[in-house]
């Protein structure tokens, strides 16, 4: 934890949740919630990809909030297959919006965390409070029932991911007409490719989805 980070605890549905805030150098322009990979396979809020996402959003001027899911670190409760984790992430959303009213909220996640964030954005959109944008890294498509996501979402996946095959991500993204950014040579955990994630998220965050001309035939 660096000097621009602060630990916190938050009351969750299954008990206390352990969290971490990362602050930008200047007044925050938005809030980013970052979700970590599968807790039963060692996923924590300190995962390298999760940390990279947090640093990316701090560089973009966001205050970043992440929690350890149930049963991880000092967070109480037991793994709830995504449903309870989405409930807890929604509590984090409500907490952060209370602390920083009026700021746009971004969601990001890695692996299992992309499933949680896809479900959270679906809930928030249905409630009339859609998030600013999503950045999903190593999408859990094919392993978890991902919700459909907005057209301007950023999807980044590793070419050599053998945990969540690239083909499964294409199968999920294709009906939604959402581009998938592929990092050549990257495995599921993006070993030696983390800077690619940070550079892409920062470069693409404020960009619009490219316009595609209609087929004349």
Q: How many CB atoms lie within 10 A of CB 20?
A: 21
Which domains can be identified in the chain, with CATH numbers? Answer: 6-204 (3.40.50.1820)
**What is the per-residue pLDDT across 119-149, written as a single tens digit (0 to 9) for each?**
999 999 999 999 999 999 999 999 999 999 9
The closest alpha carbon to 10, from 101, 74, 78, belongs to: 74
Helices (H), the chain: 48-59, 83-99, 112-126, 166-173, 194-204
Q: What is the pLDDT along the chain (217 residues), one digit of tens a residue?
A: 556 999 999 999 999 999 999 999 999 999 999 999 998 888 999 999 999 999 999 999 999 999 999 999 999 999 989 999 999 999 999 999 999 999 999 999 999 999 999 999 999 999 999 999 999 999 999 999 999 999 999 999 999 999 999 999 999 999 999 999 999 999 999 999 999 999 999 999 976 443 333 333 3
Please state whether the predicted TM-score (pTM) of the whole model is above 0.75: yes
Say how far apart CA 19 and CA 65 lie, in whole Å.
7
Q: Which residues, 6+ apart, have CB-to-CB distance to 138 below 8 Å?
A: 37, 49, 110, 111, 114, 156, 157, 158, 161, 163, 164, 188, 189, 190
Beta strands in the chain (DSSP E): 5-12, 15-22, 30-35, 62-67, 105-110, 133-137, 154-158, 181-183
- For residue 3, the model assigns a pLDDT of 66
Find where tokens 């990092």 sit: 183
């Amino acid at each position: 934890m660096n000097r621009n980070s602060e630990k916190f605890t938050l009351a969750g549905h299954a008990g206390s949740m352990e969290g971490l805030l990362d602050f930008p150098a200047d007044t925050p322009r938005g809030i980013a919630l970052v979700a970590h990979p599968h807790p039963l396979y060692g996923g924590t809020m300190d995962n390298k990809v999760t940390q990279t996402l947090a640093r990316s959003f701090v560089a973009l001027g966001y205050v970043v909030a992440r929690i350890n899911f149930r049963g991880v670190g000092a967070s109480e409760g037991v793994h709830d297959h995504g449903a309870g984790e989405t409930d807890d992430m929604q509590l984090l959303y409500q907490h952060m919006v209370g602390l920083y009213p009026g700021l746009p909220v971004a969601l990001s996640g890695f692996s299992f965390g992309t499933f949680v964030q896809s479900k959270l954005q679906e809930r928030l959109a249905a409630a009339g409070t859609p998030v600013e944008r999503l950045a999903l890294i190593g999408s859990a498509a094919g392993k978890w029932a991902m919700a459909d996501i907005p057209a301007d979402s950023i999807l980044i996946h590793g070419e050599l991911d053998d945990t969540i095959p690239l083909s499964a991500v294409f199968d999920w993204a294709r009906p939604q007409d959402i581009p998938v950014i592929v990092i050549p040579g990257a495995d599921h955990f993006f070993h030696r490719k983390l800077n690619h994630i940070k550079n892409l998220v920062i470069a693409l965050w404020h960009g619009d989805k490219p316009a595609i001309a209609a087929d004349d035939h």
